[in-house]
């Protein structure tokens, strides 16, 4: 294991964190741009809301989650060059994003989105493993929260850039323009990042070096024997189900109900959602590190409370007919819903053995993305289709009403996990 001094000295650690952040920003730009482009795509290709949910969610998430597990196992090998793995994945998903703009029908677009999911599966598990190697446990929540800034920043840029490009040059050119720069970034990753296992920054003991990779059944047994880990998986999956589902349909809500263009929606909602998401992600990591140092159960207190505080503000936002007021009111729900990322993933990294860190992150991502990203947009789209005969174009508004109250589910499981977290982390230590 690297000592605290080895982890924290040298500019290479900061450079690695910054490059990983930029890669994750590109990850979410390419993942989320389809949300702001969904309405013009629907109008040109004649899609239903269920097909939009399938395109934005399940088609991507199914391959993203399934492939994430073997990629994480490969990443946990001591011989794997994790930066090269991340760079190769980046090149694949960037090329497939560009190909989305060439799709002539729903089937072709679906296949291109599957390709994006295949590429993006190789990003976060090795990135989490790298960060866990480089940063000491007392600062890990903040470091993972810093990496997680890629979610709100990438979402902001994806909506802002995608919306402007859709208004200016159409949705097809928007995919092409956004996808191609990722290929340049992949070259930077290949030539700049170094794996600390290969440079000597992370030093293994003789026993660790000879042990090699932990057998999968042993890694899974270690994970699921922890009740705190199981509760985190449930809580994180429920939070992702709401987060991914709502962000897809909120962007459509502003276009369909309030009459905004993709460019207007991308700019205003991107700024509000991105800014509040950045603040919430950083605040969640800061609170977890500060108050978790005194009592580690408080690592998850902010995520639990945040999910409850969102309810009145979100309801008011979806009820008002003033689109600017709705945007303003969504600041608090977006901020509070972003508190969980750093605390959740730092807790997972502390609950599993060293040689199972990447696979643990992949398991959590598997459930979060399959249930959240895969089923959230699809489920809300199916509900919208069911409600359309009664509510017409307002069906999305009523779907969002119901989604608001579902925030109580992750709040409950974050709270239940916090009751066990201190004891289990002490036993693991």
Q: Where are the domains of the chain?
A: 9-201+213-428
Structure tokens at 373: 């990203």
The residues, ordered by sequence, that sit 6+ positions from 129 with a Cβ below 8 Å of its Cβ are 72, 75, 76, 82, 357, 358, 361
pLDDT score recorded for residue 425: 67
* pLDDT score of 132: 80
Contact in structure between 369 and 240 (CB atoms under 8 Å): yes
Mean pLDDT per 10-residue run, the chain (429 residues)? 42 83 93 87 89 84 82 79 91 94 91 90 86 79 82 85 90 93 92 77 46 72 87 92 87 90 87 84 84 77 92 95 93 91 80 74 82 86 91 91 92 91 67
Query: What is the C-alpha R_g of the chain?
Result: 21
Tracing tokens 């073997």 back to the chain, one arrives at 70
Q: Return the pLDDT at 428.
A: 59
Question: Alpha helix locations (H) across 212-300?
Answer: 216-224, 227-256, 262-292
Burial code of 179-191, b = ≥16 C-beta within 10 A, e = fewer? beebeebbeebbe
CATH classification (class only), 9-201+213-428? mainly alpha
Tokens of 5: 């001094």
Distances (CA, A) of 205 to 91, 202, 209, 354: 35, 10, 6, 12
What pLDDT does residue 212 have?
54
Any alpha helices (H) in 299-340, and if so which ranges?
A: 301-319, 323-329, 331-337
pTM: 0.74
**Cα dihedral sign for 109, 153, 94, 241?**
negative
What is the reported pLDDT for 11?
Answer: 54
């Amino acid at each position: 294991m690297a000592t605290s001094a080895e982890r924290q000295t040298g500019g290479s650690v900061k450079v690695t964190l910054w490059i990983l952040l930029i890669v994750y920003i590109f990850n979410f730009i390419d993942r989320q741009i389809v949300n702001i482009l969904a309405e013009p795509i629907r109008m040109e290709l004649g899609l239903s809301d269920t097909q939009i949910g399938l395109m934005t969610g399940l088609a991507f998430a199914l391959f993203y989650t399934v492939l994430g597990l073997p990629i994480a196992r490969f990443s946990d090998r001591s011989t794997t060059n994790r930066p090269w793995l991340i760079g190769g994945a980046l090149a694949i998903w960037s090329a497939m994003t560009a190909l989305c703009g060439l799709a002539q029908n729903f089937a072709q677009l679906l296949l291109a989105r599957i390709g994006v999911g295949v590429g993006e599966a190789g990003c976060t598990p090795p990135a989490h493993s790298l960060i866990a190697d480089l940063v000491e446990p007392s600062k890990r929540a903040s470091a993972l929260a810093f990496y997680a800034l890629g979610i709100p920043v990438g979402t902001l840029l994806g909506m802002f850039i995608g919306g402007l490009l859709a208004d200016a040059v159409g949705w097809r050119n928007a995919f092409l323009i956004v996808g191609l720069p990722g290929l340049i970034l992949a070259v930077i990753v290949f030539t700049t990042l170094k794996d600390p296992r290969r440079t000597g920054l992370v030093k293994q003991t003789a026993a660790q070096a000879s042990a090699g990779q932990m057998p999968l059944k042993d890694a899974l047994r270690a994970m699921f024997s922890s009740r705190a880990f199981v509760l985190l998986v449930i809580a994180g999956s429920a939070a992702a189900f709401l987060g991914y589902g709502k962000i897809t349909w909120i962007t459509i809500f502003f276009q369909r109900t309030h009459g905004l263009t993709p460019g207007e929606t991308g700019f205003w909602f991107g700024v509000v959602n991105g800014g509040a998401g950045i603040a919430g992600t950083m605040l969640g990591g800061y609170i977890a590190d500060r108050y978790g140092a005194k009592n580690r159960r408080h690592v998850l207190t902010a995520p639990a409370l945040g999910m409850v505080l969102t309810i009145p503000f979100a309801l008011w936002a979806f009820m008002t007919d003033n689109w600017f007021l709705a945007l303003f009111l969504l600041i608090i729900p977006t901020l509070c819903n972003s508190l969980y990322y750093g605390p959740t993933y730092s807790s997972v990294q502390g609950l599993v053995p060293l040689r199972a860190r990447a696979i643990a992150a992949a398991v959590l991502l598997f459930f979060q993305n399959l249930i959240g990203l895969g089923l959230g947009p699809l489920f809300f789209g199916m509900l919208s289709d069911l409600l359309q005969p009664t509510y017409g174009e307002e069906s999305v508004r009523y779907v969002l009403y119901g989604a608001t109250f579902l925030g109580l589910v992750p709040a409950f499981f974050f709270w239940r996990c916090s009751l066990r977290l201190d004891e289990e982390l002490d036993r693991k230590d």
